Amino acid sequence: MTENWHKRFDEERARLNEIVLAGAPLGIKRFFALDEQVYEAGALPAKTKELLGLVASMTLRCDECVSYHLIRCREEGVTREEFYEAFNIALVVGGSIVIPHLRFAAERLETLLETR
């Protein structure tokens, strides 16, 4: 059921971004650009930055944002152990209200570790 979720996720995200950017004023387009650039390697490596995005998304409880950063973290080579240590920080900081998002992430992570 969650098999290939990341492909469907990328497609749906691209489809909706197209709708947004067709109607969007310059300010929204610039925000989207900033949102890309902020995760690029700098003084901190891209892997660390994606982990920062992942933990922030989990404590703010946004499954779509969690999905995006799971994929990107995986591309940067984050291992299962590293993922779970990041999840653990999100859980302690954000509390039990984070648990549904942790369950969601854990299931999606398994497919990601198998298929990529």
- Provide the binding-site residues for a copy of itself, judged by CB under 8 A: 13, 16-17, 19-20, 23-25, 27-28, 30-32, 34-35, 37-39, 42-44, 48-49, 51-53, 55-57, 59-62, 64-65, 79-100, 102-104, 106-107, 109-110
- Closer by beta carbon to a copy of itself, 35 or else 75: 35
Shortest distance in whole angstroms from residue 26 CB to a copy of itself? 8
Q: How far is the CB of 96 from a copy of itself (least distance, A)?
A: 5
Residues 87, 109: Cα–Cα separation, whole Å: 11
Angle between helices 80-94 and 46-59 (to 10 degrees): 40
Residues making up the chain, counted from first to last? 116
> How many C-beta atoms surround the C-beta of residue 93 within 10 A?
12
Q: Are 44 and 76 in contact (CB under 8 A)?
A: no
Least separation in angstroms between residue 39's CB and a copy of itself is 7
**Smallest distance from a copy of itself to CB 77, Å:** 12
Chain centroid, CA 52 distance in Å: 10
